[in-house]
Amino acid sequence: MKWVNVLGGIVGAAALLGLGIILGHFAIPKGTNSQHLQDLDLEILESIMQQLDASRIRENLRELSREPHLASSPQDEALVQLLLQRWRDPESGLDSAEASTYEVLLSFPSREQPNRVAVVSPTGNVLFSCRQSEQNLTGEQGGPDVVPPYAAYAPPGTPQGLLVYANQGTEEDFMKLQAQGIKLEGTIALTRYGGTGRGAKAVNAAKHGVAGVLVYTDPADINDGQSSTNETFPNSWRLPPSGVERGSYYEYFGDPLTPYLPANPSSFRLDPDTVSGFPPIPTQPIGFEDAKILLCQVNVSVYNRLELRNSSNVLGIIRGAVEPDRYVLYGNHRDSWVHGAVDPSSGTAVLLELSRVLGTLLKKGTWRPRRSIVFASWGAEEFGLIGSTEFTEEFFSKLQERAVAYINVDISVFANATLRAQGTPPVQSVIFAASKQIPAPSLGGLSIYDNWIRYFNRSSPVYGLVPSLGSLGAGSDYAPFIHFLGISSMDIAYTYDRSKTSARIYPTYHTAFDTFGYVDKFVDPGFSSHQAVARTAGSVLLRLSDSLFLPLNVSDYGETLRSFLQAAQQNLGVLLEQHSISLVPLVTAVEKFEGAAGALDQRISALQKATPDPLQVRMLNDQLMLLERTFLNPRAFPEERYYSHVLWAPRTGSVATFPGLANACSRAMNTSLGSPAWAEVQRQLSILVVALEGAAATLRPVADF
Amino acid sequence: MKWVNVLGGIVGAAALLGLGIILGHFAIPKGTNSQHLQDLDLEILESIMQQLDASRIRENLRELSREPHLASSPQDEALVQLLLQRWRDPESGLDSAEASTYEVLLSFPSREQPNRVAVVSPTGNVLFSCRQSEQNLTGEQGGPDVVPPYAAYAPPGTPQGLLVYANQGTEEDFMKLQAQGIKLEGTIALTRYGGTGRGAKAVNAAKHGVAGVLVYTDPADINDGQSSTNETFPNSWRLPPSGVERGSYYEYFGDPLTPYLPANPSSFRLDPDTVSGFPPIPTQPIGFEDAKILLCQVNVSVYNRLELRNSSNVLGIIRGAVEPDRYVLYGNHRDSWVHGAVDPSSGTAVLLELSRVLGTLLKKGTWRPRRSIVFASWGAEEFGLIGSTEFTEEFFSKLQERAVAYINVDISVFANATLRAQGTPPVQSVIFAASKQIPAPSLGGLSIYDNWIRYFNRSSPVYGLVPSLGSLGAGSDYAPFIHFLGISSMDIAYTYDRSKTSARIYPTYHTAFDTFGYVDKFVDPGFSSHQAVARTAGSVLLRLSDSLFLPLNVSDYGETLRSFLQAAQQNLGVLLEQHSISLVPLVTAVEKFEGAAGALDQRISALQKATPDPLQVRMLNDQLMLLERTFLNPRAFPEERYYSHVLWAPRTGSVATFPGLANACSRAMNTSLGSPAWAEVQRQLSILVVALEGAAATLRPVADF
């Protein structure tokens, strides 16, 4: 062999080896690295959408609502077992599932001494007694497990007095009566549901010396005025005359004896006699059938009892493949007042179908999300969001460190017209993205989004016409997540065409008529709206748990801040100026937020175009995740239990603006310059400015301290 | 060419190519990946240790303490410019440096009406007047920039009354006087420094009707009993007879007008007349020279004034190469009462030398830390940790999200005997590691650690004999970091041989005699102790900012919790049992913490042995960083401003145990069963249990929700 050949061979071999090294290094991604970049897989998402099955949701609902399952009842406990069994199923279960139990203070009517409302003669003879239970119309309204209508946490007592009709029992209503010269002292106030919270009616009444309160459901508010037997259930979805809305009359949420502490058996408990937030006087709900008969002297006998009971949450976990320490939570309560087919089983039926489909993929090994998913079935929500609140109290630190978002689907279908979503601004875009990809039921391919925008919409300065997202009050289990922990939250459901009904809520709400048959026949025959909610919430869940970049659009908060600011300027500007309080620092803070959020959007876009570095993505996602936390200030509203979010605390006025500022202004309005109330206005303004500046700081490039 | 040869050639070529691919893929780390694994470089660390120069620290100190630089004075402002210049130096500066200014309420004596303490005859003639300034012994104690001795925040007033000696002015001291039948009403109390906080003396006195308070420094407490001119400065380090300790008499910390809010010009401010925490009666500090002369009727004239002043922090940043969103903070205050050579310039001199060495490496391009470093020079610490507190209020969210640790070096050298460190348990191991590698000054190669253990030590159940780390009170700027934000913090200094002096603190503390000459001649001639502190704190800083795995040993908290628990069982066990309060839930919680921390240690060891995955390391480091945060509960001690850390809040008793529980027990002790005080004991116990359970939850594997 010639040396030229040998040399050529060596050169060639070296070239090949070198080529190989180059290929090996650059062309084949490292295992860990490519796994770190795991992103949402649209094919898997679409396949999940297809697998979410309306008929299985229907079967879930049938099973969930077969028996009344009042919080802590044996039937409620049986559902805990059902959930555990589903979530531990070897073929469609999750990675793990556990029940955790709290010992909480609930309130029940006495079995031995039923509550009673009666009309009595001046001599004390009973002339008429209200029903003590609803009429058994379908065979499901009878039996020992149907709890008689009562006002949970209303104190026992047997007041007797003249009946006074007090409309909705607001402070204004009682003031009007007083202005008309009507003596309220010692009377029984008859009020109707709506206008204010349940417990607030009794609080307002007691301030005027009222001795007892009755609350009834008015056909005008719930049945579009219809009240006759043949126009109501079981002949339509309307509330029958004997239907009575039960409910919790507790003012706050969480276990009443353990505020800010999980209700573990060893936890410190307040003395029940000193608890604040219970109705101060005996209160009892009744049906409209009875309400119209009442007159003259009425006797109300309430024998409710407080009881310490065990109530469980059930948690099911899917471990994240890449970032197991980031949690996307999805939950609903499990307990109902009676059968609770709509409230809450329509949500739980959807939850179980979603967890089945995801669990099946998981067990087959075809899918595992980037982040962890935590499914939750909360206990004792009806008594005041108790299970979810205790959970947030117990896992306060961990959730604040790691929770990406909380998705709540309580009542999944109120009615069949349209999607309805509530949430904080960062979740708007992911709900929009999900709902654009899913067909609305029975509308020939129109997307859920395009249908939604026909019912609820607003003109956004940034996007033009978009569906309007509602804001989160404290109506379901999202409340402790958003208000106490500052976790971006949302609530998703299908709901009414408001041009067709003015019902305050679906008619059989919290009554014994909220049954499987009611849903199957009137609320969602075919369960296609249930399926639409399963798909929407499921797609949102997948996007949040699987996307490389968290789909939380923080700059959408800028739009909200700007609109709150404009409302403050318009509604409070003159008043503040009169008191030499300047909104300029607030204007500056809003501008800083907008600037920081806009720049962050640009950094995300740039990173998405380049090959993203997993640590850089993680840092950026941390900014997105933690933004909502920056709005928390546990010292902002010391008198508002749990409410720490400076943007979403309860507002007393009707203008959508900064709640702390607006409430402080309305309290200061009629006080003199230099009063403590005006100092509080200034304090609230500073709290707000600091929170917005802190939020902007969290969004700025992390290396610019 | 035969086909066999051709085939052989192809096979060979393929093998070579394949080998290349394998080598390229597995043998050469990807650029991003290897950068992600950037770890502490011991050679660079050693080189930094060598470059930290005692003579440069001496020059820094000379420059820093040349002029008196009371907070917000022109000289203080000049030092702001000096820091900015150093930190922006093109050859040894940092990535960026900025001053940020707050408008804060300070207190100064009046120039026009000097405060005065005089002995007067019954007819009102002045028989004797105390000095109004210290004796000018070195030419540095005179001039308009030396602020006369005063009690900052003491109210103006001119009380006159009989002098009563009240020892240290504790509650107990006044009770004793009362028990002896001494009438306190309308008197002037003469008290000595020590035993309780400065402001507390006036608070205690006022409760007994005392009209004014004098506070002097007793030679027994500060000079080991020596008091004559030739035994004191400038002939020794002892306090001269005319020396007076200045100080803030404000009870809380932070700007008094803006609690929980940064003192920006637009921030809401309390009405100064309604601020709590100021001394209730005129108070004035004096020297022992005068104290021994005082008797009979004394007139105290205090003309202090509150003033809103601008005070600046200076921040210097080194951007992290891999995790720029993780901040290791290192700070000291800048303001002094007079020249402040020891307090605080000895710390600032070290800070500037450390930032010079790191800045030089940075500008040369030889080093950039894994995480960001934030150097801070705080304003107005002497008035109540004001600059640092306002900083934590302004950047509350960002710091809670991202701060790894806070290193405080205030007075860097009290004396030359030994290192002294205070901190929370997670920082113990990194201080130990650093101090083991650095020689103690002038001890023939003995390490700082080995010298330290001779002076302060304890027997650890885990490690055997180790140096004892002190706990953090509120004596310097670490207070808002640990108590308000839950950031693992430490304070590092060189200090006394306690067998050689019983001085309460270095003798010229807060007097006009704390000058460069004093340090150069008496405190640390040669500046080797300054250098030792620079090396120790510098090594800790490097380890925290550069190590791949954060060197925070969370399981060391287990030892503290166990010892607190044992102390609670021994000291409170019987009392609690008598009131049917069980410590079992607390025992269980401590056990859970120990178990979770131990298991985490094992996971770290395992990960360190394998090739660590950068995201896994990040998740684990987040657990370590955030552990300290889990002990915060802003609702635990509503009356203790800023104190939210359930383990380190102020304790009234002397036993080292859980402060909330111990304080509540001592308040409940003499109340009856079922009192609100006993309910508070149970509440505190539950708060503690929940915090420890939350801490354990944060340490558990992140995928096990």
Average pLDDT estimate for A495-503: 93
Contact map slice: B 19-78 vs A, CB within 8 A:
19-26, 28, 30, 32-33, 36
Read off the tokens for B113. Answer: 């009406």
For chain A, say whether B261 makes contact (Cβ under 8 Å).
yes
Task: Please give the share of chain A, as a percent, with pLDDT higher than 70.
Answer: 95
- The band of B335, judged by pLDDT with boundaries at 50, 70 and 90, is very high
B355 and B56 Cβ atoms separated by less than 8 Å = no
Measured CA to CA, the distance from residue A276 to residue A127 in angstroms comes to 36
* Predicted local distance difference test score (pLDDT) of residue A30: 46
Residue B216 has what DSSP assignment? Answer: E
Q: What are phi and psi of B704, to 5 degrees?
A: -85, 95
By C-alpha distance, the chain A residue nearest B619 is: A325
For chain B, say whether A397 makes contact (Cβ under 8 Å).
yes
Contacts with B654 (C-beta within 8 Å, 6 or more apart), sequence order: none
Cβ B693–A397 below 8 Å, yes or no? no
B654 and B195 Cβ atoms separated by less than 8 Å = no
By C-alpha distance, the chain B residue nearest A632 is: B397
* Predicted local distance difference test score (pLDDT) of residue B673: 86
Cβ B629–A401 below 8 Å, yes or no? yes
* Predicted local distance difference test score (pLDDT) of residue A5: 63
For chain A, say whether B396 makes contact (Cβ under 8 Å).
yes
Contact map slice: A 71-110 vs B, CB within 8 A:
96
pLDDT higher at A5 or B329: B329
Measured CA to CA, the distance from residue A335 to residue B555 in angstroms comes to 41
Measured CA to CA, the distance from residue A70 to residue A451 in angstroms comes to 36
- Exactly one of B103, B251, B381, B680 is catalytic; which is it? B381
> Measured between CB atoms, which of B19, B261, B690 is closest to A17?
B19
- Exactly one of A323, A381, A382, A559 is catalytic; which is it? A381
Longest dimension (CA), chain A: 132
pLDDT at A25 over 60: no
pLDDT at B29 over 60: no
* Predicted local distance difference test score (pLDDT) of residue A189: 95
Measured CA to CA, the distance from residue B400 to residue A401 in angstroms comes to 10
Average pLDDT estimate for A207-220: 96
- The band of A526, judged by pLDDT with boundaries at 50, 70 and 90, is very high
For chain B, say whether A401 makes contact (Cβ under 8 Å).
yes
In A75-175 the beta strands, taken as DSSP E runs, fall at 96-108, 116-120, 126-129, 151-152, 160-165
> Is B231 part of the annotated catalytic residue set?
no
Read off the tokens for A535. Answer: 């798909």
Tens of pLDDT along A561-601? 999 999 999 999 999 999 999 999 999 999 999 999 999 99
For chain A, say whether B630 makes contact (Cβ under 8 Å).
yes
Measured CA to CA, the distance from residue A180 to residue A186 in angstroms comes to 17
CA proximity to B595, closest of B685, B690, B697, B689: B697
B613 and A32 Cβ atoms separated by less than 8 Å = yes
Residue A24 has what DSSP assignment? Answer: I
Average pLDDT estimate for A501-526: 95
pLDDT at B299 over 90: no
> Which region among A13-22, A107-116, A162-171, B522-531 has the lowest average model confidence (pLDDT)?
A13-22
Tens of pLDDT along B624-643? 999 999 999 999 998 899 99
Nearest-CA distance B374 → chain A (Å): 8
Contacts of B619 in chain A (CB under 8 A): 323-325
Nearest-CA distance B579 → chain A (Å): 14
By C-alpha distance, the chain A residue nearest B375 is: A705
The residue of A623, A673, A690 whose CB has the most chain B CBs within 10 angstroms, and thus the best one to mutate to test that interface, is: A690
Tens of pLDDT along B417-434? 999 999 999 999 999 999
Handedness of CA B314, B320, B324, B328 (dihedral sign): negative
pLDDT higher at B246 or A265: B246
Q: Over chain B, what is the mean pLDDT? A: 93
Element (H, E) at B423: strand B418-423
Contact map slice: B 304-323 vs A, CB within 8 A:
315, 317, 319-320, 322-323
CA distances from A391 to A254, A315, A478, A484, B4 (A): 10, 10, 12, 11, 74
Question: Could you tell me whether strands A371-378 and A151-152 are parallel, antiparallel, or unpaired per DSSP bridges?
Answer: unpaired
- The band of B266, judged by pLDDT with boundaries at 50, 70 and 90, is confident
Tens of pLDDT along A292-342? 887 678 989 999 999 999 999 999 999 999 999 999 999 999 999 999 999
Nearest-CA distance B683 → chain A (Å): 5
Nearest-CA distance A225 → chain B (Å): 48
By C-alpha distance, the chain A residue nearest B390 is: A690
**DSSP SS3 for B420:** strand
Cβ B401–A686 below 8 Å, yes or no? no
Report how far Cα A515 is from the mean position of its chain's Cα atoms.
Answer: 22
CA proximity to A532, closest of A42, A46, A53, A47: A53
> Which region among A23-27, A253-257, B81-85, B508-512 has the lowest average model confidence (pLDDT)?
A23-27
Contacts with A479 (C-beta within 8 Å, 6 or more apart), sequence order: A253, A385, A388, A389, A472, A473, A642
> Measured between CB atoms, which of B96, B260, B683 is closest to A635?
B260
Strand partners, A407: A330, A490
CB-facing half-sphere around the CA of A336: CA atoms within 13 A: 33
The residue of B6, B33, B264, B268 whose CB has the most chain A CBs within 10 angstroms, and thus the best one to mutate to test that interface, is: B268
Tens of pLDDT along A463-472? 999 999 999 9
The size of chain A, in residues, is 705
* Predicted local distance difference test score (pLDDT) of residue B550: 98
Nearest-CA distance A390 → chain B (Å): 12
> What's the pTM?
0.90
pLDDT at B569 over 90: yes
pLDDT at B19 over 80: no
Question: Could you tell me whether strands A305-318 and A371-378 are parallel, antiparallel, or unpaired per DSSP bridges?
Answer: antiparallel
Contacts of B28 in chain A (CB under 8 A): 21, 25
Cβ A697–B16 below 8 Å, yes or no? no
* Predicted local distance difference test score (pLDDT) of residue A28: 47
pLDDT at A683 over 60: yes
Residue A472 has what DSSP assignment? Answer: P
For chain A, say whether B271 makes contact (Cβ under 8 Å).
yes
**DSSP SS3 for A103:** strand
Q: Could you give the angle at which helices B347-364 and B528-546 cross, rounded to 10 degrees? A: 50
pLDDT at A11 over 70: no
For chain B, say whether A619 makes contact (Cβ under 8 Å).
yes
Cβ B266–A584 below 8 Å, yes or no? yes
Contacts of A264 in chain B (CB under 8 A): 585
* Predicted local distance difference test score (pLDDT) of residue B31: 44
By C-alpha distance, the chain A residue nearest B22 is: A24
